[in-house]
Structure 1
């Protein structure tokens, strides 16, 4: 199973705002939430760079100490 596959029936009640920092545990990277399309959330490294996508519910808000270690 792909680490970004969402289990059937799972819900993701939390949704980040554009520009909000989130942690992608599958990659260990902190990125900015850029938006959603086709059921995926798009993130990019702080300060710019190549975006990557994750399934909703597979990222979480960062805590302050995580926000300082960017992608």
Structure 2
């Protein structure tokens, strides 16, 4: 069951995805990341192939569509085969 984030302006709350869900940050040129959790009014996302988390505004985040998920999973597999730290 998804937890709900309550916005301060009284709008309908955005459903918070489960950790690990692949999301697209439209505020950062459609960057794909794994949802990690809620950090104040922001959602924390982590790059699929490892790296530093970033914070995104929930209104600029959407679920990754199937092709975006496939590309992200393929990039993760390729990074693992090269021995990169994830």
TM exceeding 0.5: yes
Structure of higher RCO (CA pairs closer than 8 Å, 6+ residues apart): 1
Band the TM-score falls in, shorter-chain normalisation: 0.7 to 0.9
Q: Is the 8 A contact 2:39 2:55 kept in 1?
A: no
What does residue 21 of structure 1 align with?
A: 22
What does residue 56 of structure 2 align with?
A: 54
Q: TM-score scaled to structure 1, two decimals?
A: 0.73
Runs of 4+ in 1 over 2 A off after TM superposition: 8-14, 68-71
Looking at structure 2, the residues matched to 29 and 12 of structure 1 have their Cα atoms a distance apart, in angstroms, of 23
What does residue 4 of structure 1 align with?
A: none
Q: TM-score scaled to structure 2, two decimals?
A: 0.62
Q: How many residues align?
A: 65
Unaligned runs of 5+ in 2: 1-8, 76-86
RMSD: 2.2
Q: Give secondary structure in 2 for the equivalent of 1:65.
A: helix
Q: Is the 8 A contact 2:27 2:56 kept in 1?
A: no
What does residue 44 of structure 1 align with?
A: 46
Q: Considering fraction of residues, name the structure with more helix.
A: 2
